Amino acid sequence: MPAQAGVDTHARPQRFREARTARPGAVMFAHRLAVLADRPALEELAGAAIDQLQRDYLQPDQIAASRAIMGVDTQLIQDGTYFVVHHEGRLAGCGGWSRRATLYGGDEIAGRNDSMLDPAVDAARIRAMYTHPRFARRGVGRVVLSLCEAAAAAAGFQRLELMATMAGQPLYTSYGFAPVERVDHASGGAIVPLVRMVKPVTRRGASSDGP
């Protein structure tokens, strides 16, 4: 699939922008759009997040099964809709949004649908959110969601939709998403519980990242 016009994802990373989390003693995070060269580091980060940050929510066999569902979606990098977040030079997290129909899953998941959504009627997707365990609960997820919401709003979308893991649901609930459907994804002999969640676009933040 060719890259989005105007977004050269083979290029060297663009300059970082900075975002401060809203809480007291806020941590300063830098962010930029991901490029294809980031992919190995992002896969490693996603693996650590999947394995370590789901332990309070899933059994070991479910975590192993979720490895087959989750991961980085290269299409998002190619589309210029995937963010990386750093703190003092260390990769802290990643996540993105999409104007394509696929709702969840990494590169390998079955049933992908790369068709383009219509901002006038469809909800933009929030996709592939991962925080390195070292940076958990420091506001990385919230920063990524704000960037995604601002970029989706700039593209004309009125609503956001995602498929949440059990580990992701508290973040999305705190950000204003509401659950609409419980989904059991059968994978590798285990059932991985997921929740489809939606939210109207309300924050047209200051981010100018995105295509």
Ligand X SMILES: CC(C)(COP(=O)(O)OP(=O)(O)OC[C@H]1O[C@@H](n2cnc3c(N)ncnc32)[C@H](O)[C@@H]1OP(=O)(O)O)[C@@H](O)C(=O)NCCC(=O)NCCS
- Determine if 98 is a binding residue for ligand X (CB under 6 A): no
Q: Which helix (H) or strand (E) holds 200?
A: strand 190-200
Strands 190-200 and 82-87: unpaired
Which is nearest to 78 in space by CA: 15, 1, 151? 1
> How many Cβ atoms from other residues are within 10 Å of residue 176's Cβ?
15
* Stretch 184-203 residues interacting with ligand X (CB under 6 A): none
User: Residues 85, 18: contact at Cβ < 8 Å?
Assistant: no
- Determine if 60 is a binding residue for ligand X (CB under 6 A): no
Residue 67 region, left (φ>0) first, then alpha (ψ -120 to 50), else beta?
Answer: alpha
Q: Quote the least distance from Cβ 201 to ligand X, whole Å.
A: 18
- Determine if 160 is a binding residue for ligand X (CB under 6 A): no
Alpha-carbon span 19 to 85, nearest angstrom: 9
DSSP letter for 82, please: E
Alpha-carbon span 142 to 17, nearest angstrom: 16
Q: Which residue of 33, 34, 167, 192 would you call a contact of ligand X, by CB under 6 A?
A: 167
- Determine if 94 is a binding residue for ligand X (CB under 6 A): no
- Determine if 106 is a binding residue for ligand X (CB under 6 A): no
- Determine if 152 is a binding residue for ligand X (CB under 6 A): no
- Determine if 62 is a binding residue for ligand X (CB under 6 A): no
Q: Which residue of 71, 80, 93, 105 would you call a contact of ligand X, by CB under 6 A?
A: 93
User: Residues 194, 163: contact at Cβ < 8 Å?
Assistant: yes
Q: Which residue of 41, 64, 68, 136 would you call a contact of ligand X, by CB under 6 A?
A: 136
Q: Quote the least distance from Cβ 139 to ligand X, whole Å.
A: 5
- Determine if 49 is a binding residue for ligand X (CB under 6 A): yes
Q: Quote the least distance from Cβ 101 to ligand X, whole Å.
A: 17
Task: Give the distance from CA 11 to its chain's centroid.
Answer: 21
Q: Quote the least distance from Cβ 133 to ligand X, whole Å.
A: 8
Here the tokens at position 70 are 């989750």
- Determine if 50 is a binding residue for ligand X (CB under 6 A): yes
HSE at residue 139, side-chain half, CA atoms within 13 A, is 16
CB nearer to ligand X: pick between 56 and 118: 56
- Determine if 164 is a binding residue for ligand X (CB under 6 A): yes
Residues that bind ligand X (CB under 6 A): 23, 49-50, 53-54, 93, 129-131, 136-142, 164-165, 167-168, 170-171, 174
